[in-house]
């Protein structure tokens, strides 16, 4: 694990954390609350976590006995605690301990987005795994913001990560398991 | 007998200007064909549809929300610009015959077509709004159904698009990890666009990236008789957000100075990626314009 710890990029989580703490502090100054930014914080944290899967040496390491899934597992073992620490820090900084956000609060929605990102990364083309995986949570959040008033199945789908986060996590885990050999 | 041998002319190195323009043209194509601006445009269209079709939460909701719908498009432009500047981190770039400052300038210029596209889209939107008759603004008895944006308000997306290019460039330069820069860019644009109301209170709106007007100036308590107020005023009735009668004011002067402020921010962000004299000039000019823009806004703010 030690070599993995050394090479896993934590810069995305640091960048997301720094951006949120700055924006959240400004929001508290301006409006007295940074709560409206929490869904964005969940998407950014999830994206930053998945971005940590980026492995510049992936092609080189394809020939080693440790499978891609195993190497991904090692990276996630480093990234998940770091992501959890960032999310908890953001919650503390936002002074939000109460369940103000509905289903799965406080870890369900961020876990749903992160799991979705990992599932997309697993099934994405090898050269773009981390990029596609990191884009997935951001895109899901953005679509929800831009088209949140849609009716029918589309309207339900864009908000599922907030309304049924654990179902999303289960579906993503199934996709990750199915792509275990990729 | 001697024979004259025709020696091929030694190729003259291209002028720096031609090199910069050639690289700018190449990068412009890459920025315009990057998937992020297209995705952003699609989201902005959905966002605009949502704003125009939703039941208004307050009088003037559409007027205040429409300027914000450009946010996802600007985010897409920033992401494409960040991708262009991330290419400069490849080791091969060090061996390139084009100096880093020229490459940076070329990539900044490569954003011009994207800025022009935003200007065209804004113009098309303004024409559509003119044809549609305008927007609802104000509460009875001081209300209009035919409100149109002033010219400085309409111009705002153009300096915003220029800032989006420079901001993406600066993020890619300051944050070494390509995806980390992308996440930071996404966080900033989506923090300032869908939740723009957080940044447009009376104290902060001079500093906000996307400024939304009108302002509401208190003119009487909630118990006041609105019929006694001047008939030419647009009014905001007491509601869950305010406990007074307010006058709805659109300030073109403030919007114009906010555009100046955005130009200043753009130059400041560009100075991060430029070098030498260009960096110093852009930084100094940007600082002057940003400070002047904010100061003037504060002076003319109703």
Residues A45 and A83: beta-carbon distance below 8 Å:
yes
Sign of CA dihedral B242, B247, B248, B252: negative
- Measured distance CA(A137)–CA(A16) in Å, rounded: 13
Q: Which of B190, B191, B195 sits opposite A142 (nearest CB)?
A: B190
CB contact under 8 A, B177 and A12: yes
Q: Which of B43, B180, B191 sits opposite A40 (nearest CB)?
A: B191
- Measured distance CA(B250)–CA(B129) in Å, rounded: 17
Residues B50 and B72: beta-carbon distance below 8 Å:
no
Among A16-25, A69-78, B127-136, the range with the most confident prediction by mean pLDDT is B127-136
Q: Which residues of B touch A29 (CB under 8 A)?
A: 204
pTM: 0.89
Q: Is B254 exposed, middle or buried (0-12, 13-18, 19+ CB in 10 A)?
A: buried
CB contact under 8 A, B195 and A36: yes
B53 and chain A: CB distance < 8 Å anywhere? yes
Which of the four pLDDT bands, split at 50, 70 and 90, describes residue B13? low
pLDDT tens digits, one per residue of B242-279: 888 999 999 999 999 999 999 999 999 999 999 989 99
Distance, CA of B3 to chain centre: 66
- Measured distance CA(A56)–CA(B91) in Å, rounded: 14
- Measured distance CA(B169)–CA(B28) in Å, rounded: 14
Q: Name the packing angle between helices B100-109 and B157-174 (round to 10°).
A: 150
Q: Which residues of B touch A142 (CB under 8 A)?
A: 43, 72, 75, 186, 190
Q: Which residues of B touch A14 (CB under 8 A)?
A: 180
Q: Which of B20-29, B67-76, B83-92, B288-297 is predicted least confidently?
A: B83-92
B186 and chain A: CB distance < 8 Å anywhere? yes
B87: left (phi over 0), alpha (psi -120 to 50) or beta: alpha
Residue B221: which H helix or E strand, with range? strand B215-221
- Measured distance CA(B144)–CA(B287) in Å, rounded: 39
B77 and chain A: CB distance < 8 Å anywhere? no
- Measured distance CA(B108)–CA(B111) in Å, rounded: 6
- Measured distance CA(A181)–CA(B219) in Å, rounded: 68
- Measured distance CA(A178)–CA(A122) in Å, rounded: 9
User: Chains A and B: how many Cβ contacts under 8 Å?
Assistant: 104
pLDDT at B4 over 60: yes
Mean pLDDT for the stretch of residues B104-126: 96
Which of the four pLDDT bands, split at 50, 70 and 90, describes residue B9? low
- The pLDDT score that the predictor gives to residue B83 is 94
B199 and chain A: CB distance < 8 Å anywhere? yes
Q: Which residues of B touch A26 (CB under 8 A)?
A: 199
Tokens for B57?
């939460």
B21 and chain A: CB distance < 8 Å anywhere? no
Q: Nearest 10 degrees: CA dihedral of A139, A145, A146, A152?
A: 100
Shortest Cα distance, chain B CAs vs residue A141, angstroms: 10
Q: Which of A16, A31, A37 sits opposite B183 (nearest CB)?
A: A16
- Measured distance CA(A92)–CA(A85) in Å, rounded: 11
Shortest Cα distance, chain A CAs vs residue B40, angstroms: 9
- The pLDDT score that the predictor gives to residue A140 is 95
CB contact under 8 A, A37 and B175: no
CB contact under 8 A, B181 and A44: no
- The pLDDT score that the predictor gives to residue B79 is 96
CB contact under 8 A, B39 and A12: no
Shortest Cα distance, chain A CAs vs residue B218, angstroms: 19
- The pLDDT score that the predictor gives to residue B90 is 72
Shortest Cα distance, chain A CAs vs residue B24, angstroms: 25
| Among chain A residues, CA nearest to B204 | A30
Q: Which of B72, B177, B188 sits opposite A19 (nearest CB)?
A: B188
């Amino acid at each position: 694990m030690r070599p993995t710890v050394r090479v896993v990029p934590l810069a995305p989580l640091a960048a997301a954390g720094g951006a949120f703490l700055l924006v959240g502090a400004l929001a508290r100054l301006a409006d007295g609350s940074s709560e409206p930014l929490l869904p964005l914080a969940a998407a950014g944290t999830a994206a930053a976590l998945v971005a940590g899967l980026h492995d510049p040496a992936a092609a080189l390491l394809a020939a080693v006995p440790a499978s891609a899934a195993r190497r991904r597992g090692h990276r996630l073992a480093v990234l998940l605690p770091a992501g959890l620490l960032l999310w908890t820090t953001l919650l503390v900084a936002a002074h939000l301990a109460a369940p103000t956000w509905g289903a799965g609060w406080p870890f369900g929605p961020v876990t749903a987005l992160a799991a979705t990102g990992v599932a997309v990364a697993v099934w994405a083309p090898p050269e773009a795994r981390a990029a596609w995986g990191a884009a997935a949570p951001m895109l899901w959040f953005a679509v929800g913001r831009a088209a949140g008033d849609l009716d029918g199945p589309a309207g339900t789908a864009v908000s599922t990560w907030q309304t049924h986060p654990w179902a999303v996590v289960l579906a993503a885990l199934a996709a990750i398991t199915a792509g275990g050999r990729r | 007998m001697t024979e004259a041998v025709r020696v091929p002319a030694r190729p003259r190195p291209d002028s720096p200007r031609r090199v910069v323009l050639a690289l700018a043209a190449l990068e412009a194509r890459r920025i315009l064909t990057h998937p992020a601006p297209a995705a952003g445009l699609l989201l902005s269209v959905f966002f605009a549809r949502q704003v125009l079709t939703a039941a208004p939460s307050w009088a003037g909701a559409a007027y205040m929300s429409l300027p914000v719908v450009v946010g996802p498009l600007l985010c897409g432009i920033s992401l494409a610009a960040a991708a262009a500047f991330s290419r400069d981190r490849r080791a091969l770039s060090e061996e390139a015959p084009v100096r880093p400052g020229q490459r940076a300038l070329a990539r900044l210029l490569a954003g011009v077509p994207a800025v022009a596209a935003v200007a065209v889209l804004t113009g098309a939107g303004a024409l559509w709004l003119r044809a549609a008759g305008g927007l609802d603004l104000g509460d009875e008895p001081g209300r209009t159904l035919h409100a149109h944006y002033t010219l400085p308000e309409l111009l705002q997306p153009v300096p915003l698009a220029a800032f989006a290019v420079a901001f993406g460039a600066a993020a890619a330069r300051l944050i070494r990890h390509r995806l980390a820069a992308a996440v930071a860019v996404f966080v900033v644009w989506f923090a300032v666009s869908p939740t723009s109301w957080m940044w447009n209170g009376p104290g902060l709106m001079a500093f906000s990236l996307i400024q939304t007007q009108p302002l509401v100036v208190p003119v009487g308590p909630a118990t006041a008789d609105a019929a006694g107020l001047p008939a030419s005023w647009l009014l905001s009735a007491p509601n869950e957000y305010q406990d007074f009668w307010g006058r709805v004011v659109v300030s073109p002067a403030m919007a114009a100075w906010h555009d100046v402020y955005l130009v200043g921010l753009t130059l400041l962000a560009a100075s991060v990626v430029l070098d030498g004299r260009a960096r110093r000039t852009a930084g100094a000019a940007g600082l002057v314009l940003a400070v002047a823009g904010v100061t003037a806004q504060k002076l003319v703010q109703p």
